[in-house]
Structure 1
Amino acid sequence: MPGAVLSLGVVGCAAVLAVGLAAAGGAAVFSQRLAGAADAAALAAADAASGAATGSPCERAAQVAAASGASVDACELAGLVATVTVSAAFGRFPASASARAGPPP
Structure 2
Amino acid sequence: MRTRRVRRVGGPERGPEHGSEHGSEHGSERGSGSILAIGMVAAMLTVAAGVLTAVGAVSAHARAAAAADLAALAAADAASGRIPGVPCDRADDVARANGAAIASCAQSGATVDVTAVTPWLGLGAAASARAGPGPGG
TM-score of the two chains, using structure 2 as the length reference: 0.72
Equivalent residue in structure 2 for 1:46, among 68, 73, 76:
76
Of the two, which has the highest radius of gyration? 2
RMSD: 1.2
The answer to which structure has the higher strand fraction is 1
Whole-Å separation in 2 of the counterparts to 1:80 and 1:33 = 25
Return 21-30 or 66-75, whichever deviates more.
66-75
Report the counterpart of residue 7 of structure 1 in structure 2: 37
Aligned partner of 2:96 in structure 1 is: 66
Structure 1 distance, partners of 2:118, 2:63, is 10
1:77 aligns with 2:110: no
User: Structure 2: 5+ residue runs without aligned partners?
Assistant: 1-30
Q: Distance in 1 between matches of 2:35 and 2:104?
A: 55
Higher relative contact order by CA 8 Å / sep ≥ 6: 1 or 2? 1
Distance apart, 1:74 and its partner CA: 1.6
Residue 83 of structure 2 aligns to a residue in which SS?
coil
Deviations 1:66-96 (A, max 9, x none): 1112221221111111101122321211332
Matched, 1:32 2:62: yes
| CA distance in structure 1 between the aligned counterparts of 2:87 and 2:32, rounded to whole angstroms | 67
Identical pairs, percent: 46
